[in-house]
Copies of this chain bind each other. A is one copy, B any other.
Amino acid sequence: MTMTRNPQLDQHGALKHLLSIEGLPRDVLVNILDTARPFVGVTEREVKKVPVLRGKSVFNLFFENSTRTRTTFEIAAKRLSADVINLNINASSASKGESLLDTISNLSAMDADMFVVRHSQSGAPFLIASHVREGISVINAGDGRHQHPTQALLDMYTIRHYKQSFTGLTVVIVGDVLHSRVARSQIHALSILGVPEIRVVGPKTLVPDSLGRMGVRVFNRMEEALTGVDVVSMLRLQNERMDGGLLPSAQEYYKSYGLTAERLALAKPDAIVLHPGPMNRGVEIESSVADGSQSVILPQVTFGIAVRMAVMSILGVG
């Protein structure tokens, strides 16, 4: 139907890879969220396994270390009864000088069904997806500063769970929006799902005015940005940025952009607080807020398993 083909979709518009939220039709996103719903139930049952991916081989290809994200995909795949192979590629063939694409060709020849790819270089999962043979699916588990689509999807699931619908919401994303793959993916997802007002806030070095081109309202004062919002989505502060001189210090940052109980009071009374973790308590968020009644940070983790099960099952049986 579409004239310019999205490499994530097959000719009938069905998802065949999950590489980026950008360019995905609304109904594809909604379908993932709807599919995730019963999987929240699965993880609470006595026997958490469903046979959806029995006999399928899922490869966790982590070219960049992330035990946390790798674990969520590993659990999701195992609860779908898949065989999971974890590959930390730093120490392996990479050191023997094999190219990325030769590595992928080899693993494909082992009859892989799905690759979950984390890579420090933006676009690596796209390159891999363009290279694998028909029938193998690629899931982007975070590539450079580019995208982290399953994180955005679990955020959307969480927002829908607490707010029912997207169409009346004001959402603010707080922190290093410029360098964050989480923020980039969230902005796309919120737009596609019809959130009328998306705000971003942070210091000018990390949230420049040019971000306005993404269809968001840019703020540099935290108090202003929080006023009247339904959802506060905190980003993790990368310590590397502070070393690089883009930020003065953790204390300075907290003074201006830390989410304190006092500042949160400017949002709507029923506003929810999201954070992708791991949190820097006392840097981007006050401890009492992280553990407070408006925090939905732990439910995000639970929904994250269900959303990854949904993505894998849609791709795996597709």
Contact = CB atoms under 8 A, between A and B. Distances in A.
Interface stretch (A89-97, A184-192, A193-201, A215-223): A89-97
Ranked nearest first, the 9 interchain pairs of A and B with the lowest CB-CB distance are: A47-B55, A67-B92, A98-B278, A109-B301, A43-B111, A109-B298, A48-B55, A78-B83, A49-B55
Contacts of A47: 54-55
A72 B106 CA distance: 10
Interface string A215-252: 00000000000000000000000010000000000000
B68 A92 contact: yes
A68 B106 contact: yes
A62 to B, nearest CB: 11
A74 B58 CA distance: 12
A165 to B, nearest CB: 25
Oligomeric state, in copies: 3
Interface in A53-72: 54-57, 65-68, 71-72
A68 B83 contact: no
Interface of A: 43-49, 54-57, 65-68, 71-72, 74-75, 78-79, 83, 85, 87-89, 91-93, 96-99, 102-103, 105-111, 239, 277-281, 298-302, 304-305
A87 B67 contact: yes
B46 A55 contact: yes
